[in-house]
Chain A
Amino acid sequence: AQSVAQPEDQVNVAEGNPLTVKCTYSVSGNPYLFWYVQYPNRGLQFLLKYITGDNLVKGSYGFEAEFNKSQTSFHLKKPSALVSDSALYFCAVRDWGTGGFKTIFGAGTRLFVKA
């Protein structure tokens, strides 16, 4: 069965410091992996995706994620955090087990960036 795990409920980082939000996955087919962000009182917004190709994927707002097949991880990173990055971040995987049309989301990691 497809699944994603976000081991940290919360990540705290100081503004200007690099940030990492962790995600590990389990899939039976090719891993289509995604990161979404949710700001307060808003819906989820797509940040970036990995389907194939370079292991380092660049997305919106300066975020990037590194696909690591051997460690089955897809960690979200940003070289320099901003206070405005504070939000809820979701890792997600395409569910090939049900025809590939569903997306399974992790539990979410809340990022706090302190000024």
Chain B
Amino acid sequence: DAGVIQSPRHEVTEMGQEVTLRCKPISGHDYLFWYRQTMMRGLELLIYFNNNVPIDDSGMPEDRFSAKMPNASFSTLKIQPSEPRDSAVYFCASKDGDTGANVLTFGAGSRLTVL
């Protein structure tokens, strides 16, 4: 398996534009998580899915953020409209809920810069 795949790796956009980040989890993993990493706030959990269903989105900062998982192999995190304070590295992670060990496998991240 190629691991968790995220795209794009880097995104530079202007304030007000829509941003879509993509994630392909490891095949067979039934949990998918979106995290945001900044220097000021560290690693924050935004939302997670189980079997494609959003379970907890309490970490989503505001209505400008939305996430979907239309099938087991694809998820998106969308920011509309984007703001400079959204600049961060966004990570997707997945895990196999059946193992019970709760070990996450992370993607390489998408670095977002909003000008």
A residues with CB within 8 A of B: 32, 34, 36, 41-46, 49, 51, 90, 94, 98, 100-103, 105-108
Contacts and interface: CB of A to CB of B under 8 A. Distances in A.
Query: Chain B: interface secondary structure?
Result: strand
Contacts of B4: 43
Interface in B83-104: 91, 93, 97, 101-104
Contacts of B108: 41-43
B30 to A, nearest CB: 10
Interface stretch (B11-19, B48-56, B60-68, B71-79): B48-56
Chain B interface category by residue count: 20 to 34
B42 A108 contact: yes
B34 interface: no
A51 B42 contact: no
Contacts of B45: 102-103
A102 B106 contact: no
A46 B43 contact: no
A107 B102 contact: no
A43 B102 contact: no
Contacts of A49: 101-103
